[in-house]
């Protein structure tokens, strides 16, 4: 968490400061309009038209402030949705018999220079640290919706046998296309997969059998050629 605070995104902080300044400006103008409205209402009478014009103008300004506030909130939320969001997970479904560390970009744009700093890393193939970032980015670019995976050490059942509990922590950092930096802590857990089915359906087994069909056909062809 300390590392996360040190690497906190300056651009995001500056953007938040600008938004806070915008909020303060709207609040100040709004309070000023309320004060003007209060003074004008005290002077309202059927014979004086000027206070009514002041009241109408103050109400129009307050309505425009509410509209500007809503528009700014929508803009900020849409801007955040368009940013990349990268998160790792343990996966045992994509490769039969293997446990993988899978990093996926769930955000709305590409992520660049993905780096992972582990607090306690799982062991990869040949005991290497998966997606090690000591000598540069672990992943140079990860498109929107794209994933990258590395095999963890040994078969899936060996991985769970060697890691009790299979829970790992760290900090993942990356940039968007404009160079804005993002960093957030993550927790990767494989405990929910320890006693689960490798495949929820039998489609993968069917795919394997279909993949064997060309070889079976070649065997049959070879046997027929020998007979002839």
The confidence band for 66, taking pLDDT boundaries of 50, 70 and 90, is: confident
The confidence band for 10, taking pLDDT boundaries of 50, 70 and 90, is: very low
Identify the pLDDT of residue 5: 40
Q: Rounded to 10 degrees, what is the CA torsion of 69, 70, 72, 76?
A: 130
Strand order in the sheet with 147-155: 86-91, 98-105, 147-155
Prior bond of 200 cis (ω within 30°): no
Q: Identify which has the larger pLDDT, 70 or 123.
A: 123
Identify the pLDDT of residue 85: 95
Average pLDDT for 75-102: 85
Average pLDDT for 34-51: 62
Give the burial string for 42-74 (b: 16+ CB within 10 Å, else e). eeeeeeeeeeeebbeebeebbeebeeeeeeeee
Q: Is the pLDDT of residue 105 over 90?
A: yes
Phi, psi for 161 (deg, rounded to 5): -70, -35
Q: Rounded to 10 degrees, what is the CA torsion of 221, 225, 227, 228?
A: 130
Distance CA 23, CA 46 (A): 37
pLDDT digit string (tens) for 139-149?
Answer: 999 999 999 99
Stated as kind and residue range, the H or E segment containing 173 is strand 167-175
Lowest model confidence (mean pLDDT) among 28-32, 137-141, 188-192, 197-201: 197-201
* Mean residue pLDDT across the chain: 77
The whole-model pTM stands at 0.60
Q: Which two tokens stand for residue 68?
A: 């500007």
The vertex-180 CA angle with 175 and 184, nearest 5°, equals 60
Whole-number percent of the chain with pLDDT over 90: 25
Task: Compute the half-sphere exposure of residue 219: CA atoms within 13 Å on the CB side of its CA.
Answer: 5
Q: Identify which has the larger pLDDT, 71 or 197.
A: 71
Q: Which residues contact 109 (CB under 8 A, 6 or more apart)?
A: 82, 83, 84, 144, 176, 177
Whole-number percent of the chain with pLDDT over 70: 65
Q: DSSP readout, 147-159?
A: EEEEEEEEEHHHH
């Amino acid at each position: 968490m300390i590392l996360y605070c040190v690497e906190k995104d300056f651009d995001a902080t500056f953007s938040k400061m600008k938004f806070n300044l915008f909020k303060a400006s709207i609040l100040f103008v709004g309070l000023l309009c309320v004060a003007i409205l209060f003074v004008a209402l005290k002077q309202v009478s059927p014979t004086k038209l000027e206070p009514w014009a002041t009241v109408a103008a103050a109400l129009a300004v307050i309505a425009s402030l509410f509209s500007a506030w809503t528009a700014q909130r929508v803009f900020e939320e849409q801007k955040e949705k368009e940013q990349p969001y990268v998160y790792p997970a343990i996966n045992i479904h994509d490769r039969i018999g293997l446990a993988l560390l899978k990093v996926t970009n769930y955000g709305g744009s590409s992520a660049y220079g993905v780096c992972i700093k582990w607090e306690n890393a799982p062991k990869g193939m040949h005991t290497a640290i998966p997606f090690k970032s000591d000598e540069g980015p672990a992943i140079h670019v990860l498109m929107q919706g794209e994933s990258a995976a590395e095999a963890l050490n040994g078969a899936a059942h060996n991985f769970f046998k060697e890691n009790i509990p299979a829970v790992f922590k760290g900090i993942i950092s990356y940039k968007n296309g404009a160079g804005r930096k993002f960093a957030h802590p993550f927790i990767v857990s494989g405990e929910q997969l320890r006693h689960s089915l490798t495949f929820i359906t039998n489609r993968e087994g069917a795919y394997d059998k279909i993949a064997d069909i060309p070889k079976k056909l070649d065997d049959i062809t070879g046997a027929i050629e020998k007979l002839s």
